[in-house]
Homo-oligomer: A and B are copies of this chain.
Amino acid sequence: MAGAAAPLTARSGRVKAARRLTRRADRADTRLFLAEGPQAVREALAAGCVREVFAVADAGGRHPDLVAAAARAGAPWQVTVRQAIAALTDSVHPQGVVGVCHFVDVPVQQVLGGHARLLAMCADVRDPGNAGTVIRCADAAGAEGVLLLGNSVDPYNGKVVRASAGSLFHLPVSLADDAAAMVDQVRSAGLQVLAADASGEADLDEAADAGLLAAPTAWLFGNEAHGLPDALAAQADHRVRIPIHGRAESLNLATAAAVCLYASARAQRARP
């Protein structure tokens, strides 16, 4: 009977193995990561990438859909003491359910092969909240994929997974070290590359008015503190600045990405 066995504790070998996945090196070795909270675990189960679930005793009663989905997926539902679950996440408010998931990133060719019309590319994004929020915004705006380039934060970092609010499991995410090569490859696949750049020569509203945003587009976003390297920005088809109407110096990365991606989504759907 489910729940009859004693809950796993922090000393359990399975919990210890899962806890190692809070470290990037161990994630890279095993190609496994942790998704915390019912929403993330639900989306991960729907994506078919969950290997096992650790859950506090009453989580099954609160989320019968998750128990059923885990059973269908053949993923063991491991009742686990609360403190052991808490040790698997850096969330301030752990929600009592953690899934051990297989990596979900895909080869770049898979993102580019399907006649993508809207992509988000991040070069050297370092803040996990920003990276996760860009993935969420790209999903919401209907983008077909996200490319994390250069020295970007690990998308399997718990804070990225949490900030993506499930979107990491919705749309293809691809990783590539060489940002410059990737810009070329994206253009070869028939997308224009628009660099979001505070000193860009084109204004986002003017670009929309001129019809520039209606074409298949990959937006290129830079590091939150340093922006895009000049050489990489120069490689883009256009460098586009978001107009600053007030006295703010800039927008932060995630809000800038939201404004750019939604401007493209609107332009690509506008009736002529």
Contact with A246, one of B139, B205, B246, B257 (Cβ below 8 angstroms): B139
* Complex: A242 Cα to B256 Cα, angstroms: 16
Contact with A251, one of B137, B142, B256, B269 (Cβ below 8 angstroms): B137
The answer to whether A170 and B247 have CB atoms under 8 Å apart is yes
The answer to whether B252 and A265 have CB atoms under 8 Å apart is no
The answer to whether A139 and B242 have CB atoms under 8 Å apart is no
Contact with A205, one of B133, B138, B143, B269 (Cβ below 8 angstroms): B269
Interface string of A239-269 (1 = CB under 8 A from B): 0001111111111101111110010011001
Q: Min CB distance, A58 to chain B, in Å?
A: 21
Closest to A164 in B: B248
Q: Min CB distance, A65 to chain B, in Å?
A: 15
Interface residue count on the A side (C-beta < 8 Å):
41
The answer to whether A166 and B248 have CB atoms under 8 Å apart is yes
Q: Min CB distance, A91 to chain B, in Å?
A: 14
The answer to whether B258 and A140 have CB atoms under 8 Å apart is no
Given contacts A254-B254, A269-B205, contact A171 B133 (CB under 8 A): no
Chain B contacts of A192 at CB under 8 A?
none
Interface string of A189-233 (1 = CB under 8 A from B): 000000000000000010010000000000000000000000000
The answer to whether A250 and B140 have CB atoms under 8 Å apart is yes
Interface string of A40-82 (1 = CB under 8 A from B): 0000000000000000000000000000000000000000000
Chain B contacts of A257 at CB under 8 A?
255
Instruction: Known pairs A133-B252, A163-B252, A167-B246; list 9 more (Cβ under 8 Å).
Output: A39-B249, A133-B255, A139-B248, A141-B245, A165-B248, A171-B247, A243-B265, A245-B265, A258-B258
